[in-house]
Amino acid sequence: MSSREACVAADQTDPLRPFRDLFDLPPGVIYLDGNSLGALPKAAVERAASVVTVEWGRDLIGSWNTHDWFALPTRIGDKIAQLIGGTPGSCVATDTTSINVFKALAAALGIQREDAPARRVIVSEQENFPSDLYIIEGIIGMLGHPDGRPYELRLIDDEHPLADALDDDVAVVLLTGVNYRTGAWWDMDATTAEIHAAGALAVWDLCHSIGAVPVDVTAADADFAVGCTYKYLNGGPGSPAFVWVSPKHAARAKQPLSGWWGHARPFEMAVGYDPAPGAASFLVGTQPIVSLATMEVGIDIALSADGQQLRSKSLALTDLFIELVETRLAGHPLTLITPRAHADRGSHVSFLHPEGYAVMQALIARGVIGDYREPHVLRFGITPLYLGFADVWDAVESLRTVLDEELWRAPEFQVRGAVT
């Protein structure tokens, strides 16, 4: 599209256009950070108010039954399962992604300790979201040196591909479906098959995948999956994450945080732990009810959107973003680090710029909200539910102004906040 008019016309025929009205975005803002914190669904305001004032305030403790609080993590888990191709009962909404990485990885390692105890290597990506790597480090430290041989982390990168890392020592591979920095997208089916062929189990982190790209954990034959809901699912700040357990492992998957909520009969108050089967045993303790109830609104919106339409629009918008930056901002030192091939791209676009941090602050000051990631990465989340073609045009024009007029040189844009 070579004009703003063409973008406006494309918006008018966009079948997803009505979804934009379900979200409350401040006027004058183009929000390109839905991959980090999704926008506020209008209906979530009322839902949050009613869970606080009616369910908590008026009905008090009776709400565990009368408002079905106790079923929230599994009921919402079933909805998330639908979004990722899982079956009912295979997924729960709970805790954070980091904690769910811990539980899923520990359960996968537990299965391998029974089936293939000699396997002591966990493979992950150098470029993974750091928390995933930190959790692996923690697990390795906790497991110590069984029979003198420690577990170890083996990291893959462009020079050390997965195929080279897979051998008879590998127990589990933890990969992130869409890379948080570059937007590169793994082929989940082929990669899971490759991992299984090497005798390892596959744990997938779907944080930047769910709601952004098609996911089918069943078709991929994945073993475990985790992800968050406050990004493309618009669940709200700190909304609970999810963990999916393949039904084939339901009887054997044991996670070590054996809390009361994961017990098969939690209200028996038994002295010994007897885990509920499958994903239900991944619930640990009392859940954040207000957050859970509020986030269901965003998940219902995602469920009501057509997955094919979302993917087509996401690709059209990311294609347009790349094309406009490369044609209208040519001459500026911007380097695309997101894959161009559709099969390899998630739903955000990232460019390197030597003054990336200041450029992003200057852009945010003009109402175009993207984010910055070390080193030098300008990251733009493209959420097809509430962004249009004209938004992409306007965002790129703002970026052009910031760069042409060197607005980023202003001293206030050089100062780093606590959160970048």
Ligand X SMILES: *Cc1c(COP(=O)(O)O)cnc(C)c1O
Does 205 belong to an annotated binding site? yes
Q: Would you call 31 a catalytic residue per the annotation?
A: no
Choose, by CB under 6 A, the member of 50, 87, 131, 218 that binds ligand X. 131
CB-nearer residue toward ligand X: 72 or 228: 228
| # chain residues binding ligand X, by CB under 6 A | 13
- Which of 14, 205, 223, 391 is catalytic? The answer is 205
Minimum distance from residue 238 beta carbon to ligand X (Å): 8
Known binding residue 129? Answer is yes
Which one of the spans 84-92, 148-156, 203-211, 355-363 is the region binding ligand X (CB under 6 A)? 203-211
Restricted to residues 256-315, the positions that interact with ligand X (CB under 6 A) are none
Q: Which of 78, 205, 223, 371 binds ligand X (CB under 6 A)?
A: 205
- The annotation status of 130 as a binding-site residue, yes or no, is yes
Tell whether 286 is in a known binding site. Answer: yes
**Catalytic: which of 231, 313, 345, 366?**
231
3-state SS string for the chain = CCCHHHHHHHHHCCCCHHHHHHEECCCCCEECCCCCCCCEEHHHHHHHHHHHHHHHHHCHHHHHHHCCHHHHHHHHHHHHHHHCCCCCCCEEECCCHHHHHHHHHHHHHHHHHHHCCCCCEEEEECCCCHHHHHHHHHHHHHHCCHHHCCCEEEEECCCCCHHHHCCCCEEEEEEECECCCCCEECCHHHHHHHHHHCCCEEEEECCCCCCCCCCCHHHHCCCEEEECCCCCCCCCCCCCCEEEECHHHCCCCCCCCCCHHHECCHHHCCCCCCECCHHHHHCCCCCCHHHHHHHHHHHHHHHHCCHHHHHHHHHHHHHHHHHHHHHHCCCCCCEECCCCCHHHECCEEEEECCCHHHHHHHHHHCCEECEEECCCEEEEECCCCCCCHHHHHHHHHHHHHHHHCCHHHCHHHCCCCCCC
Closer Cβ to ligand X, 213 or 320, answer by number:
213
Catalytic residue, candidates 313, 379, 380, 391: 379
* Residue 18 labelled as part of a binding site: no
Select the span of 6-14, 38-46, 126-134, 306-314 touching ligand X (CB under 6 A). Answer: 126-134
Q: Least distance to ligand X from the beta carbon of 99, Å?
A: 7
Nearest to 294 by CA among 35, 26, 52, 37: 52
CA–CA dist 232, 381 (Å, integer) = 9
Query: Which CB sits closer to ligand X, 325 or 369?
Result: 369
340 is catalytic: no
Minimum Å gap between C-beta 241 and ligand X is 5
Which residues from 227-246 bind ligand X, rule CB under 6 A? Answer: 228, 241
- Residues 33, 78, 132, 371: which binds ligand X (CB under 6 A)? 132
Q: Is 231 noted as a catalytic residue in this protein? A: yes
311 is known as an active-site residue: no
Q: What are phi and psi of 256, to 5 degrees?
A: -80, -15
Least distance in angstroms from the C-beta of 182 to ligand X: 12
HSE toward the beta carbon, residue 143, CA cutoff 13 A? 26
Residue 176 binds ligand X, judged by CB under 6 A: yes
Tell me whether residue 20 is one of the annotated catalytic residues: no
Q: Is 98 annotated as a binding residue?
A: yes
Q: Contact residues for ligand X (CB under 6 A)?
A: 96-98, 129, 131-132, 176, 180, 205, 207-208, 228, 241
Annotated binding site: 97-98, 129-132, 176, 205, 208, 230, 260, 286
Known catalytic residues?
A: 129, 205, 230-231, 379
Annotated binding site for pyridoxal 5'-phosphate: 97-98, 129-132, 176, 205, 208, 230, 260, 286
